[in-house]
Amino acid sequence: MSDFVFATAQYESGDWDSAPLVPANIIDTIARYTSIDVAPTGVIVPLSSSSMFRYPLLYLTGHLPVRFSEAERANLRRYSELGGLLFVDDHNHDVDGTFHKTATEELSRVYGPIKTVPNTHALYRSFFRFDDGPPTTSHELNGWGDNLVHKTLSGVERRGRLVLLYSSKDYSSEWNYHPQNKRFLSVDNTKFAVNLVVYALTR
């Protein structure tokens, strides 16, 4: 089995599969920049299943309200205790959207208070350097986007390591394209995903 398999979290409520091209794009980026032994295809893992513990980094996204079942909460609680990292991205890019409100409420029940991750965090230096914190997305920028720029990410740490990373920046839209189209970009906008995976694998 490969050292890293990109795993998308499937939850019983909402639209967990709203960004279907993200896994392939991230896998392509990891293979492009690193020597990490990455599996060529991703997997979909139900949060209510114990198989989620096979994948210590999980990606969760959606637009719709999130309500975890008891089994999903229990698994996530245990996952965080064991050192698994859950990366949650709001596909709405909205501070007042239904996903944001319900997901942060659910995640707070499982993980406790969600705090701002400082832009000096090791996450922003684990491979590429992001001195200004999380890279902005085109959906945030004035003109193309709505000019609602989230300057930081949020998260929860246990024993000095992130176990939850929450983004309102809508990387799910930013990275949701076929990897072959990366050649049309002047700057690869998926580089931050490399930092995320390297951080998860090494810290």
Partner 1 sequence: MRSRADLRRGVEWLLRAALVVALAVALWRSMMARSEAGVARRTTVRALPAALREAASAPAVTGLHLAVSETPSPLQRAWLVALRRAGVAVTWSGSPPAIAAEASRAREPRAPARIAVAASAGAKIVVADSAGVVDTLRVGAAGGGALVESDGLISPVTASSGPFAARVALPQAPESRAVLVLGRPSWESKFVIFALGEAGWTVRARLPVAPGVEEATAGLLPLDTSRYDVVVALDSTASGLSAGIARFVAQGGGLVAAGSATRLASLRALLPARAGERLPGRILLEGDSVTPPGLPLRPLASLAADAVVLERVPAGVALAARRAGRAAIVAVGYDESWRWRMLGGASGAASHRAWWSRTVALAAPDRSAAPSPSSGGDAAPLAALVGALGAPVSPPASAASETTNALPVILLVMIVLALVAETASRRFRGAR
Structure tokens at 7: 């795993």
Beta-carbon count within 10 A of 183 CB: 7
Contact 95, 168 (CB under 8 A): yes
Rg (CA), the chain: 16
The answer to the question of residue 71 lying near partner 1 (CB under 8 A) is no
Tell the smallest beta-carbon distance from residue 63 to partner 1 (Å): 29
CA 138 to chain centre: 17
Tell the smallest beta-carbon distance from residue 15 to partner 1 (Å): 24
Stretch that binds partner 1, among 43-51, 139-147, 149-157, 164-172 (CB under 8 A): 43-51
Structure tokens at 59: 């990606």
Our CB check for partner 1 shows the closer of 22 and 57 to be: 57
The answer to the question of residue 200 lying near partner 1 (CB under 8 A) is yes
The answer to the question of residue 50 lying near partner 1 (CB under 8 A) is yes
Our CB check for partner 1 shows the closer of 142 and 159 to be: 159
The answer to the question of residue 127 lying near partner 1 (CB under 8 A) is yes
Structure tokens at 182: 């990366």
Tell the smallest beta-carbon distance from residue 156 to partner 1 (Å): 17
The answer to the question of residue 186 lying near partner 1 (CB under 8 A) is no
Our CB check for partner 1 shows the closer of 11 and 79 to be: 79
87-126 binders of partner 1 (CB under 8 A): 126
Where in 47-160 does DSSP place strands (E)? 57-62, 85-90, 115-117, 153-158
Contact 8, 42 (CB under 8 A): yes
Give the closest residue to 3 by CA, choosing from 153, 200, 176: 200
Which residues of this protein are in contact with partner 1, per CB under 8 A? 1, 3-4, 33-37, 49-51, 53-54, 56, 81-84, 126-127, 159, 198, 200-203
